[in-house]
Amino acid sequence: MRSGSRKYAAIGVIVVAAASATMSMPAHAATATSPSTTTEVYDDFSAPGGYGTSNYDGKWAMPYGRLSLDAGATQSFAGGKETVNAAPFTIGADFSVFDHLKYIGVSNKAFAVPAKGSVTFESTITALTPGTEPGRVVTGTYTQSGAPYAASTIEAQQAGVVMNVVDFCTGQLFDWFVTSTTVVPLIERLPSNVTGNTTNPNCPGAKHVGPNLMYTQLLSEIPIQTGVAQRVGITYERGGSVIYTLNGVKVAKVQKVGIPLDVQGVPFLTSTYPSLGRGEQVDSQIASFSVAHGLFSLIDAFPFQHPDTPSLNVSIPMEQRLFGQGAIGTWDDFTVTTTKK
């Protein structure tokens, strides 16, 4: 890892941009490490006779389609890992959040959050993001006024290899974005027009999420060595806080999950997506999370062409979305640890 350390401390978030390059790998079995803690290896991409597509389909769904895999990207399971090569990106969309998704697999299993305790999701990611240009200015047009739009983007917005932890019923989402040179933790609450939560039979009583509750915010950029595997972790604690770990080291903690960072008065990456509303604490609404992984871009202007914010919506042409960048991601050892208190 390249040298460098930053620390931010405030009411709702602590970010420490330093981590060890030494990883502690999980055992390849479901184990009980204490009377109150269990660890499940959800997928280590190994199987008797060799891991293949049928094994993958038993663990992961592609609810938004095959995306880049139908546009020339390749997927393999060589070496007991999953690798997807979508360099360069060849698909995009100037509509809602659909440009963000280049490839995503979502766990077929949801993992309950205990009434008291926590649930931790971890995986190992190796990322290459060729063609990215940190600081690249993306241009577009405000669709209602016709005014020009321009914004500088960081590497992780242009292309990222990602682990997601998501509750589709509340829209609450936590991510790790990994690039060739950085890792970036992200916190987000997706709106109902993206999740479809209020019409999902698996989400009885789900609350409508609009601009006053949705937000997308990046916490920090942490430098890493190119090509070095990173063990990323996300722990949701009952009571409403989330902890991000990198190679076993806590690098960020966000409290009052559901309330945007700027509303809490705590720092996040400048110029990335100020919120539109006050948000709300969502802990009482969360029952479980799914884990997902994929390749993403985040070129768009927030609030991502939401239908209730026409004056803020920006159209970005395809040549600004796809400029030769892409991502090659390798994932391994997805584990889920549940601690009951």
- The rounded distance, in Å, linking the Cα atoms of 60 and 147 is 42
pTM, two decimals, is 0.91
- Measured CA to CA in angstroms, residue 245 lies from 175, 233, 236 at distances of 11, 5, 11
Q: How many CB atoms lie within 10 A of CB 198?
A: 14
* In-domain check, residue 29: no
Task: Please tell me the predicted confidence (pLDDT) of residue 271.
Answer: 79
Task: Please tell me the predicted confidence (pLDDT) of residue 130.
Answer: 98
Q: What string of DSSP letters covers 59-101? A: HEE-TT--GGGGTT-EEE-GGGSEEEEE-S-----SSTTTTTE
* In-domain check, residue 292: yes
| Beta pairing class for 37-43 and 288-296 | unpaired
* In-domain check, residue 35: no
Which whole number is the average pLDDT over 105-114? Answer: 98
Task: Please tell me the predicted confidence (pLDDT) of residue 76.
Answer: 98
Task: Please tell me the predicted confidence (pLDDT) of residue 272.
Answer: 86
Q: Read off the pLDDT of residues 12-70 as tens digits, 9 standing for 90 and up.
A: 344 443 333 334 444 445 555 556 999 999 999 999 999 999 999 999 999 999 999 99
Task: Please tell me the predicted confidence (pLDDT) of residue 35.
Answer: 62
For residue 158, what is the domain's CATH number? 2.60.120.200
- Split into its structural domains, the chain has a count of 1
Structural domain containing residue 258: 7-18+40-340
- The rounded distance, in Å, linking the Cα atoms of 157 and 19 is 22
Interior/surface letters 175-186, b for 16+ CB within 10 angstroms, e for the rest: bbbbbbbbbbbb
Task: Please tell me the predicted confidence (pLDDT) of residue 238.
Answer: 98
Say whether pLDDT at 156 is over 60. yes
Dihedral of CA atoms 230, 236, 240, 243 in degrees, nearest 10, equals: -30
* In-domain check, residue 28: no
* In-domain check, residue 66: yes
* In-domain check, residue 322: yes
- The rounded distance, in Å, linking the Cα atoms of 290 and 340 is 18
Q: What is the share, in percent, of the chain residues with pLDDT greater than 90? A: 88
Q: How many CB atoms lie within 10 A of CB 35?
A: 7
Residue 318 three-state SS? helix
* In-domain check, residue 32: no
Q: Read off the pLDDT of residues 279-312 as tens digits, 9 standing for 90 and up.
A: 999 999 999 999 999 999 999 999 999 999 999 9
Q: Read off the pLDDT of residues 114-142 as tens digits, 9 standing for 90 and up.
A: 999 999 999 999 999 999 999 999 999 99
Note whether 326 and 129 are within 8 A (CB): yes
Note whether 230 and 178 are within 8 A (CB): yes
Q: What string of DSSP letters covers 269-286? A: -TTS---SS-----GGG-
